[in-house]
Amino acid sequence: MLLFSQHQLTILAVIGNIFNVCLLLLIPILFALSVYKTSKQIPDKYKYFPDWFAWMMIIPLLNYIFAWIMLPFGVPGAIKRCFPDNNYIKPFHTSLRRWGLILVLIPIVTIIIMIITMLVTVLLVGHNPATPSIHLWLAIAFGTIGGLLFLLSLFSFIMYWAKVATVRPILVMANAMQDKQQ
């Protein structure tokens, strides 16, 4: 029971994949927009870093440095300095710092695990081709760890994005209340 011919399916797959890749490139832009909009709600005197650092997270390779600056330290630090005593905002900046740190630490952990894999492979089984089962078990073990790390990074990315989007209207309201107090 074939719905389409092989030719049709090939063209479909090509067009679909090109489109999907274009859409996936949108995700960093939307994330940077979200972080930028939240960072803009905080008055300038409380910030360590300017808002436009958020947009630097779009650039490949350079984005990791700016992610280290903005995600765990820039945004939560500014929120903490702006509202040190607000009990409603306190859980947000702690959780933003936690998820941001997890998000930026995962690439380093992945690289360390890759180096360990290479060292183990070269030192332990590199000169002994007669034991293929060790290769298999090593591949399964490190593959599982890599998969779990990927899931964790996806989850922490979603959590960070959700927290950033949730805290924005709360910051607007808290700012308005602070202005009234003064």
Partner 1 sequence: MLSTQQNMLLIMTTIGFSLLVNIIIKVFFILSINKTSKQIPKQYKKFSDWLVWLIIIPFFGSILSLITLYFNLPNAIKRYFPNNKHITSICNSLRRWSLIFALMPVLGFLFLFIIIIVKIINIPIFIYTTIILYTIISFVISFTFIISFCLCWSKVIAVRIMMAMAQEIQDKPELLNQ
Which residues of the shown chain bind partner 1 in the complex (CB under 8 A)? 3-4, 8, 11-12, 15-16, 19-20, 23, 88, 158, 161-162, 165-170, 172-174, 176-177, 180-181
In the complex with partner 1, the residue whose CB is nearer, 111 or 158, is 158
Beta-strand runs (E) in the chain: none
The CB-of-164 to partner 1 minimum distance in angstroms stands at 9
Alpha helices, DSSP H, located in 63-89: 63-69, 75-82
What is the three-class DSSP state of 87? coil
Minimum gap (Å) between residue 55 Cβ and partner 1: 20
Of 43 and 126, the one with the shorter C-beta distance to partner 1 is 43
Cβ proximity to partner 1, 116 vs 172, nearer residue: 172
**C-alpha angle 51-79-154 in degrees, rounded to nearest 5:** 75
What's the closest the beta carbon of residue 125 comes to partner 1, in angstroms? 33
Helix residue ranges per DSSP H, 41-131: 63-69, 75-82, 90-120
Residue 42 CA to residue 31 CA, distance in Å, equals 18
Q: Is 121 exposed, middle or buried (0-12, 13-18, 19+ CB in 10 A)?
A: middle
CB closer to partner 1 out of 135 and 168:
168
Q: How many residues does the chain have?
A: 182
Q: Smallest distance from the beta carbon of 147 to partner 1, in angstroms?
A: 16
- Closest approach, Cβ 15 to partner 1, in A, equals 6
Q: Both tokens of residue 143?
A: 């593959």
Nearer to partner 1 (CB atom), residue 86 or residue 117? 86
